[in-house]
Structure 1
Amino acid sequence: MVAQEFTVDLSKPLVFQVGHLGEAYQEWIHQPIVSKEGPRFFANDFLEFLTCTVWWAVPAIWLPVVCWFVTMSIRMGHTIPEVALMVGTGVFLWTLIEYTLHRFLFHMKTKTYWANTAHYLLHGCHHKHPMDGLRLVFPPAAAAILCVLFWNLVKLFATPSTAPALFGGGLLGYVMYDCTHYYLHHGQPSKNPVRNLKLDHMNHHFRVQNKGFGITSKLWDIVFGTLPPSQISGKTS
């Protein structure tokens, strides 16, 4: 625990405590507690329920939505190869969105009460309790709100017939991201490239938090020079 006036009581709901840490918040969240037992977030049971999501809920809920959007483009006259290209483009664009959100939003520096509180809910909790299996994937209710925003954004630059498949591809990329993220924490891959992805991500959590922002791919870490030191030096362990 950081040496300062306010001390977080881990036996009590955390969300409305962490804001009081002020400038010490960033140091506190990067002192991980490695336990599969997650903390309590809220005293209210319903709010607490909304913060917990089993990993398989992500593919179960969102893959049917992906299929629906993809078939929209097919029904509008596009061929299977054309739609496959659109979906692939959507997945590719997602990898850049994933990297950008993780680097610049999830790892933004905060110090005020409400900024700390919001950041803890968004990503800080994951760094403080990295093995909390019920808070590794994004809650469906929050994801649905973001889906509406991204769908309307896609419609701004894509045609009516290509927008559904592009969005479906982006949503498929998100599903791949969340499932991969869960596996990197709780799986034990023995072969590359997944083994290296896990090593990079564990480095991100426990050694160098300002490197290794890609989860499903190292591409953008290579492009923007944020590969973890182990990969820069060519080591794999």
Structure 2
Amino acid sequence: MEDKTYRVYLSPANHHKKYAIDGYTEKEQMDKLASILVNELEKYEGIETILTSVYDVDRSYTGRPEDALRQNCDIYVALHSNGGGGRGACVFYHPDYPLSKTLALAIVKALNAVCPIISNRAVQPAIYPWSYTEWNFGELREPASYGMAPVLIEHEFHDTVDGARWLIESLDTIAKADASAIAEALGLNIKSSLGDVNGDGKVNSLDAAAVLRYDAGLQQFTDEEKAAADINGDGTVNSLDAAQILKHDAGL
């Protein structure tokens, strides 16, 4: 991908569809997810994130594509959970934008990797192109008409108990998966402050080695070093973080 800053617009669901577990709705959970996703995306270089402030009384996305256009966004991400009693994530994209399909594929793969519920989608990987006749989603059609690459993410089915429970309990995991997939699709790396454990301005195998020594109990870290080493943001420093640093060093 070209060296640029991508402006990413986040549009969480604005309708109160009930989850299979009482007391939870799609709007509430996707609003929470969007707030976490802002922080996760901002861990990467080359991304500016705009979380919508448009909440139309009709409980739809009305006005959001226009808001994204005013803010010069490149990518429009609609955050949803699904209904219909199925299992597994699926992502919709606009066929006029190759980046839209690239994003969809990366996102659905990342979600399948972290969700313990096995997808039963007939199409695998579960990505679907927008069309008037089958998937006439305005949150794909309208952003695309304004020059943005859109995706609509259905993270899991909220009308099954297992799906609802995973959505409710796994927002941090879901946000990390979404963010890492978006960054991967755009060819972006984590910010240099993350992973730069030894403070030399670089993120490389020396930092990974320090993380492995810490994980083995052979080295102590300051709080600042722990924060730099916790690449995946799960509150621990271990071999998973070292692996992410090595991937960054290799340009992967």
The TM-score range, normalised by the shorter chain, is under 0.3
TM-score normalised per structure 2: 0.27
Of structures 1 and 2, the one scoring higher in RCO (CA 8 A, sep 6+) is: 1
Greater fraction helix: 1
TM-score normalised per structure 1: 0.28
